[in-house]
Amino acid sequence: MTTVINLPPSLDDKQFESVFAQLAKAQADARVLLDARHTRWASPLGLTALLTVAQSRHVKPALAVPDADDTVSYWARAGFFRHADALYELHGHVPRARATGDSDVLLEITPVVRSDDVHEVVSRIQERSQAILSKELNLDVRATMGFAMTLSEACQNIVEHAGRGGWVAVQTYTWKQRLGRRVVVIAVCDAGIGFRQSLESGNTARARSDRWDDGMALEEAVIRGVTRFRDPGRGQGLAGIRRYIGRWDGKLSVRSGTARISIVPSWDDDVPLEEGLPQFPGAQMQITIPERVEK
Amino acid sequence: MITHIDLGAMLRRTVCELYSDLVTRPTGAAVRTGIEQQLAELAGRTLTVIDFSRVGLLDFSCADEIVAKLLVRCQGWGGDRPHDAYFLLAGIRDLHIEPIEAVLERRALAVVAQPAAGHPDLLGSADGAERVVWAALDQLGRGTGPEIALVAGMAPADAEPTLESLCDRRVIMRDAAEYIALGAVARP
């Protein structure tokens, strides 16, 4: 029997919770069909998380692709089907992949497995992003340089901690609903061991405490810079990301296991910590930097 | 003795000919190993100028692996210090400063940096007195404790312990009764 997972019309980080909730009810070895026929929009996190969903299943899942031509065309330009083709049994019309040239897609969905992949990602983002970040988002040169550094550190979290490969994508778009401004969004997702298990492997003091859970693991790693390594120089990547988003009024959210932690800027009304979410393996990180406006 | 290490060339030789960005810990560890191998051939007092001119991006992980760990090993108090080694970072640009400062502060280290344009600077962890005394010596190039104290606007008795602390931290050199700024040593 196949379990049908209905994808929402708008597949962003918040709406994806409904997908995680449906998946949590299905055994990992159950056959599932993700139905995206009515999905009209997906954020970079939505698309990369969809790939990790397939990685988390024991049986190759099926995916009914969006009905809308512009949606499916965008997913193709973002590089989604290039990777989904191997991970999903695809149903519906999939346009042929072609060179993007789409200025909104700063970085097509790219696998991150080894540190060499991080070099490739950083090199590509620098080529494409500088002009767009400065012209469309009014970010100065320091911001564009810091952006590549932030992307590098976010990707290294997969290589160093996930225990398996993941995905990264970067896109700009206008966030009408909340902000009314353009934003650039980095999404980094994996279906690896997640923050809690990674810290447990380092046997940190908190990991031995009674109150240890996914929420506490995220607080330790994201807020306090704790890692599984004893080396005091470790944990600087996430600290650097925090500094960067603080300086440019950005937002960071990281979901892992059953919790999601966010560093929330004044323009957003998200909660700092959500717990008791549906269990999903790995970590899903989203970094949002808004267009700069004169005050 | 002054040794010059082109970090961009070291990256291409030890990791990949196509790379110009110093990102990821494995990359940083490989580059640091290359530097250490080069330093292992040296003896006595050396000033190693690590040149960032041909380096693009530097991330926090790589800065920690290359700069901080190199300093921990060579500026450490332990007996495993390979030789009387001093370091000066040259060709530093704005985009390099933040990650270097962050990793040095985390480990309470300091290093002298010569930006691509401008005067030498003391990066990392240093208190107000250390910065004032270091800047006074940098202005003089070399001098005795009382001479440096005069420029720093401090009493010699206050400046001397700070100069000794800066010597221990290897951001200035001592030569008999005089102290020498690393920037002055490196200048042609």
Residues of B in contact with A116 (CB under 8 A): 16
Cα distances from B21 to residues B12, B36, B57, B161, in angstroms, run 10, 20, 5, 40
The angle at the Cα of A224, spanning A215 to B89, to the nearest 5 degrees, equals 145
The size of chain A, in residues, is 295
Contact by Cβ (8 Å): B64, A239: no
B121: its two tokens: 């600077």
For A260-289, what is the mean pLDDT? 94
Partner A contacted by B34 (CB < 8 A): no
For residue A75, the number of C-alpha atoms closer than 13 Å in the C-beta half-sphere is 31
Residue-level pLDDT at A29? 86
Contact by Cβ (8 Å): A37, A65: yes
Contact by Cβ (8 Å): A232, B106: yes
Of the candidates A157, A228, A242, A164, the one whose C-alpha atom is nearest the C-alpha of residue A196 is A228
Q: How far apart are CA B135 and CA B152, in angstroms?
A: 8
Contacts (Cβ under 8 Å, ≥6 apart) of B26: A115
Residue-level pLDDT at A203? 67
Partner A contacted by B151 (CB < 8 A): no
Reduced to 3 states (helix: H, G, I; strand: E, B; else coil), residue A35 is strand
Binding-face residues of A in 72-131 toward B, CB within 8 A: 115-116, 118-119, 122-123, 126
Q: Pairing state of beta strands A2-6 and A31-35?
A: parallel
Residues of B in contact with A123 (CB under 8 A): 21
Residue B83 has pLDDT above 90, yes or no: no
**B103 membership: H or E segment, kind and range:** helix B94-106
Of the candidates B147, B125, B126, B124, the one whose C-alpha atom is nearest the C-alpha of residue B137 is B147
Chain A residue at shortest CA distance from B72: A233
Partner A contacted by B101 (CB < 8 A): no
Residue-level pLDDT at A206? 67
Q: How far apart are CA A214 and CA A203, in angstroms?
A: 15
Residues of A in contact with B61 (CB under 8 A): 152-153, 156, 236-237
Residues of B in contact with A115 (CB under 8 A): 24-27
Instruction: State the pTM of this model.
Output: 0.89
pLDDT in tens, A213-223: 999 999 999 99
Closest chain B C-alpha to A202 CA, distance in angstroms: 18
Residue-level pLDDT at B77? 43
Partner A contacted by B26 (CB < 8 A): yes
pLDDT in tens, A124-156: 888 888 888 888 888 887 788 889 999 999 999
**B186 membership: H or E segment, kind and range:** helix B182-186
Reduced to 3 states (helix: H, G, I; strand: E, B; else coil), residue A192 is coil
For B62-68, what is the mean pLDDT? 95
Partner B contacted by A186 (CB < 8 A): no
Q: What is the DSSP string of A67-79?
A: SSHHHHHHHHHTT
Q: How far apart are CA A94 and CA A36, in angstroms?
A: 13
Q: How far apart are CA A245 and CA A148, in angstroms?
A: 13
Q: What percent of chain A has pLDDT over 90?
A: 64
Of the candidates A181, A182, A252, A193, the one whose C-alpha atom is nearest the C-alpha of residue A223 is A252
A21: its two tokens: 């909730």
Q: How far apart are CA B124 and CA B134, in angstroms?
A: 13
Residues of B in contact with A159 (CB under 8 A): 24
Q: How far apart are CA A189 and CA A112, in angstroms?
A: 9
pLDDT in tens, A82-101: 999 999 999 999 987 665 55
Partner A contacted by B108 (CB < 8 A): no
For A257-278, what is the mean pLDDT? 95
Residue-level pLDDT at B78? 47
pLDDT in tens, B96-107: 999 999 999 999
In chain B, what are the helix, strand and coil shares in percent, each to the nearest 5? 50, 25, 30
| Interchain CB contacts (distance < 8 Å): A and B | 79
Q: Pick the residue of B18, B20, B24 with the most A CBs within 10 A to test the interface with A by mutation.
A: B24
